[in-house]
Amino acid sequence: MAENIAIDLRAVSKVFGSGPDEVRALDAVSLQIRDGEFFTLLGPSGCGKTTLLRLLAGFEQPTQGEIRLHGQELSGLPPFRRPVNTVFQSYALFPHMTVAQNVSFGLEMQGTSKAEIGRRVDEMLELVKLAGYGRRKPAQLSGGQQQRVALARALANRPKVLLLDEPLSALDLKLRKEMQIELKRLQNDTGITFVFVTHDQEEALTMSDRLVVMDSGKALQIGSPREIYEHPENRFVADFIGETNLLVARVDSADGESGTFRLPSGARVQGRSRDGLSAGAEVTLALRPERAELSDDPDAPLRGRIENVVYFGTDTLYQVSVNEVGLFRVRSQNVNGGMAAAGIGSTVGISFAPDAIQVLRD
Amino acid sequence: MSTREAQAERPVEPQAAPQSAPQAAKGAMRGDLGAVRREMARRLALLTPAMGIIILVMVVPLALMLTYSFLTSARYGGVIWEFSTDAYLQFLFVRDLDDSLLFNDTYLRIFARSFGLSLATMGVALLIGFPAALFIALQPPKYRTMLIFLVTIPFWTNLLVRNYAWILLLRDRGLINNTLMDLGVISQPLPLIYNNFGITLGLVYSFIPFMVLPIYASLEKLDWRLVEAAYDLGANRWEALKRVIIPLAKPGIIAGSVLVFVPSLGAYITPQLLGGGRNLMIGNLIQLQFGASQNWPFGAALAFILLAIVLLALVLWALRARRSGTSLKEVEIG
């Protein structure tokens, strides 16, 4: 198991400034990144994800804690001694060098032979589909091409881990989608561990093998995209990833697996439980809009009046105002050609399967 | 000086130009030539004050000097209005008793010494100025302004006073020699002044802000993420300096070098005071012609020879820079 771990962070904290200006950018973050996986650091700006990446690259040193790369302690090692390369958000291509010189820079620093450098540069440009562009200057390339050069440059040294700092944020939507696929392909082809920073939850869900959701310097939840989306552990994760309905409820009865919760309306619902819930405690339940459905059942746990219907093509979003809950969102697939099941102003019931309910930690 | 900037901007120009050209053509075709003419007149009127000042303070004195350099020297200063190329001949030749010209390298040697000392000044100023500028650029922004301000402080005092201060420090019974002798480090005073060392030291001191400021300006603009990228790719500090920082600071380094070299070449006070008048530089030689030697045409001719050499050097250098720039572009396109 241990040899599978590429990066091992143990209670890593990073504090900038001191006294009243002190900023705790990372707060006791512990996580493990497996060898060869596509791992994403996801969170809003200022959550500490870029700081974490800079600690891995060696541009910053942790205030506390340990970072190990394949078992080797990294603290104190300058960036140029780490078998780690970075794709910068701004690409940071050397403007005074040609594309080929940019790509060969790292190889020259390693003391690779001239013949080998020439071969590897060609290979790398081939890999990122820029063969023949070697003699151009970065300023003569489009944003997407610059992005590819940055990738080729970072991969040329065959790093153990490739760090990517929001590399796609400067690209337009279409190019971004292309590069997402391209990055996945590169990661598959090279087998290198990718650590990818983004604030785009959709990007994180579609690309990652596993991801960590971060906020205020803390790692809130680590898991596969499916685990994170289907079973968010707390309110921030539930809210940050995708749409969610939050319901305040009281615990009726609960064991480790499932429980019954009483909604303010008095209705009882079944849901997935977690440890340490005692009867009577107030909890927040999360429910994804697509896991709920409109129903005619008079015993449906929630009832409300449809305030708005938004057509999205593949599905339709109903905004239902429910007493003592507020606006509740239901998404239903447009399997019947997009005809609305109910119009604005009609009263409907909302029902859901027991495993759709997730109890959050606040 | 800004060839790199020009290169960086080049790809933008071809896009901008075709857009504006048809618009201008359309305006002219519409037949409102009167409006175009009025616009031209307005622009000319706006240019007039600036052009007037340049003509008055630059072109007129230079023309006056050029005229003087082709006149005959009067015995007690001033000129006789009689055309003569004697002043220029005097630079390389002396008239023998039989009126034949003999080659004389005295003045060439003074020019050569001036160029040598100016190059040395430039080199030393670069060796001190670049690390200083780098140091300032790496400080937190609130300290940078303060440090740049400190660099300019010597300008507040008269150059003459500052050079006298150096005499007090450097002379045989000066602060440095006295201290070293009192400490028993040396028994004889070190020859710190009235030689090339003294002149170079004085020139470096006088002109180093001209080296620091432009280099700082280009380092301050530098994207430090590029340096991080170099570290990330395995470059140590020295490699990052050599491969990334210095190439990107080149416009500032060149500007600073020119700004130190050119005034050093014409320096007058420092070689006079710290060279003790024994090691003439061009500036002193020219001053001598307008002063003690009372040979105004020769002084004017010397000034023009200096001007011609400096201009020629700058033009050649600019041509070379452009040629390497274009050849680079051809390679990229090909």
- Which of B8, B223, B235 is nearest residue A109 as measured by Cβ atoms? B235
CATH of the domain at B261: 1.10.3720.10
Residue appearing with tokens 């997730």: A358
Cross-chain Cβ contact B235/A153 below 8 Å? no
Do A80 and B11 count as a contact with CB atoms less than 8 A apart? no
Give the strand pairing for A84-87 and A161-165: parallel
- Residues of chain A with Cβ-Cβ distance to B243 below 8 Å are 94, 105
Q: What's the gap between Cα B89 and its chain centre?
A: 27
Do the Cβ atoms of A94 and B234 come within 8 Å? no
A83 in contact with B at a CB cutoff of 8 Å?
A: no
Q: Is residue B234 part of a domain?
A: yes
pLDDT of residue B101: 83
Nearest to B233 among A58, A140, A157 (CB): A157
Please name the helix (run of DSSP H) or strand (run of DSSP E) that holds residue A115, with its range, or none.
helix A114-127
Total domain count, chain B: 1
Residues of the domain holding B259: 114-295
Between chains, do B231 and A58 touch, taking CB under 8 Å as contact? yes
Q: Which residues of B touch A (CB under 8 A)?
A: 4, 8, 11, 223, 225-226, 228-236, 239, 243-244, 247-248, 331-332, 334
pTM over 0.90: no
Residue B159 has phi, psi (to 5 degrees) of -60, -40
Smallest CA–CA separation between B212 and chain A, in Å?
Answer: 22
- Report yes or no on B102 lying in a domain: no
Inspect the interface and report whether the beta carbons of B225 and A58 lie closer than 8 Å: no
Q: Are A105 and B230 in contact (CB < 8 Å)?
A: yes
Are the C-beta atoms of residues A207 and A291 closer than 8 Å to each other?
Answer: no
Rounded average pLDDT per 10-residue block, chain B, 334 residues: 43 43 50 83 90 90 91 82 87 82 87 92 96 94 91 85 89 87 86 87 92 94 93 93 93 91 88 80 88 88 91 86 54 35
Task: With CB atoms and an 8 Å threshold, state whether B332 touches A90.
Answer: no
B26: closest CA of chain A, how far (Å): 31
Smallest Cβ distance to A139: which of B8, B228, B244?
B8
B334: nearest CA partner in chain A: A135
* B8 assigned to some structural domain: no
A160 in contact with chain B, both atoms CB, cutoff 8 A: no
B169 within domain boundaries: yes
A88–B234 CB contact, under 8 Å: no
Asked if residue B90 belongs to a domain, the reply is no
Largest CA distance in chain A: 78
Distance from CA of A124 to the nearest CA of B (A): 15
Phi/psi for A334 (5° steps) reads -85, 60
Size of interface A-B (CB pairs under 8 A): 72
Nearest Cα of chain A lies from the Cα of B324 at a distance, in angstroms, of 13
User: Which among A308, A261, A291 is positioned nearest to A351, based on CA atoms?
Assistant: A291
Q: What is the pLDDT of residue B189?
A: 83
Whether the complex's predicted ipTM is more than 0.90 is answered with: no
What backbone torsions phi and psi does residue A223 show, to the nearest 5 degrees? 175, -175
Q: Do A98 and B229 touch (CB under 8 A)?
A: no
Q: How confident is chain A (362 residues) per 10-residue block, as mean pLDDT? A: 78 89 90 94 91 93 92 88 92 94 94 92 91 92 91 93 90 86 90 93 92 93 93 89 88 80 82 76 88 84 89 88 86 76 84 85 70
Distance CA B255, CA B246 (A): 13
Are residues B228 and A105, on separate chains, in Cβ contact within 8 Å?
no
> What pLDDT was estimated at residue B8?
42
Which chain A positions have a beta carbon within 8 Å of B8's beta carbon?
A: 95, 139
Does a structural domain hold residue B208?
yes
Q: Of A57, A92, A106, which has the smallest distance from its Cβ to B226's Cβ?
A: A92
d(CA A282, CA B324): 75
- The string of pLDDT tens digits covering residues A186-238 is 899 889 999 999 999 989 999 999 999 999 999 999 999 999 998 888 889 99
Q: Test B232 with A85 for CB contact under 8 angstroms.
A: yes
Is position B91 within any domain? no
| B288 is a domain residue | yes
Number of other CB atoms surrounding residue A337 within 10 Å: 5
Cα distance from N-terminal residue to C-terminal residue, chain B: 27
Cβ-nearest to B239 among A95, A109, A153: A109
Chain B residues with beta carbon closer than 8 angstroms to that of A92: 223, 225-226, 228-229
